Amino acid sequence: MAKVIIHATVSLDGFMADVDGGVDWMNGFTVTPEDEAVAGRVMSELGAVVGGANRTQTIDDGEVPYGGMAGVPVYLMTHSSHDPIEKDGVTYTFVVDDIGQAVESAEKAAGDKWVSVLGGSISRQCLELGLVDEIQLHVVPIILGQGVSLFTGLSKPIRLERVGTSAFASEAHLRYRVLT
């Protein structure tokens, strides 16, 4: 059975993007082979991705989850119907306003691999619906002060259990199981 994870790189103050939605601030930090192995494990375990509607208009511009490197089915949340898009061997399926359906479809496609949930709004919705098994964060040493928060706006506390931490060069890698 697939494991549903929230997978994100965040600033020390919990932002996943700057105020304009940019992520260039994530670049330029020292990494070690151990850091790369942590990220590589996630990539090797991915079976499908669920993302937000803001990706819908940008697939043709190359703004795709994991830079298109994951090579797994992608389910994108939208507010209006859209035919699937096939690009570079990846099928992008658009799901209208039903996050549960998107996650269920992604789980079926992933088999026994992981479903990565991307984006703040999508992550918060999945947490509140009890659809997330684990949260994996890569924390980089920068404080943005403002931006797009990964978790701000949750309507209830979500209890977690730490299952792994590591730090090598610049990043801290955190893994938490979501408790029900």
Mean of the per-residue pLDDT values for the chain?
Answer: 88
Q: If phi over 0 gives left and psi between -120 and 50 gives alpha, with beta otherwise, what is residue 88? A: left
Tens digit of each residue's pLDDT (9 = 90 or more) over 46-93: 999 998 865 445 555 556 665 556 678 989 888 888 888 888 888 888
Q: What is the CATH number of the domain that holds 38?
A: 3.40.430.10
89/83 Cα distance (integer angstroms): 16
The pLDDT score that the predictor gives to residue 56 is: 43
> Is residue 115 domain-resident?
yes
pLDDT above 70 (res 101): yes
> Is residue 169 domain-resident?
no
Closest CA to 114 of 147, 66, 61, 159: 66
The pLDDT score that the predictor gives to residue 60 is: 53
User: Quick one: DSSP state of residue 123?
Assistant: H
pLDDT grade, residue 135 (50/70/90)?
Answer: very high
How many domains, in total, are found in the chain? 1
Tens digit of each residue's pLDDT (9 = 90 or more) over 5-43: 999 999 999 999 999 988 899 989 998 999 889 888 888
Share of the chain above pLDDT 70, in %: 90
Higher-pLDDT residue of 110 and 35 is: 110
52/87 Cα distance (integer angstroms): 18
The pLDDT score that the predictor gives to residue 82 is: 81
pLDDT above 90 (res 115): yes
> Is residue 148 domain-resident?
yes
User: Which of the residue ranges 83-92, 93-102, 124-133, 140-149 would you say has the lowest mean pLDDT?
Assistant: 83-92
The pLDDT score that the predictor gives to residue 15 is: 95
> Is residue 155 domain-resident?
yes
Structural domain containing residue 155:
3-162
The pLDDT score that the predictor gives to residue 42 is: 87
Does the pTM surpass 0.95? The reply is no
> Is residue 45 domain-resident?
yes
> Is residue 55 domain-resident?
yes
The pLDDT score that the predictor gives to residue 178 is: 98
Closest CA to 10 of 160, 143, 179: 143
> Is residue 111 domain-resident?
yes
The pLDDT score that the predictor gives to residue 55 is: 44
122/127 Cα distance (integer angstroms): 9
> Is residue 175 domain-resident?
no
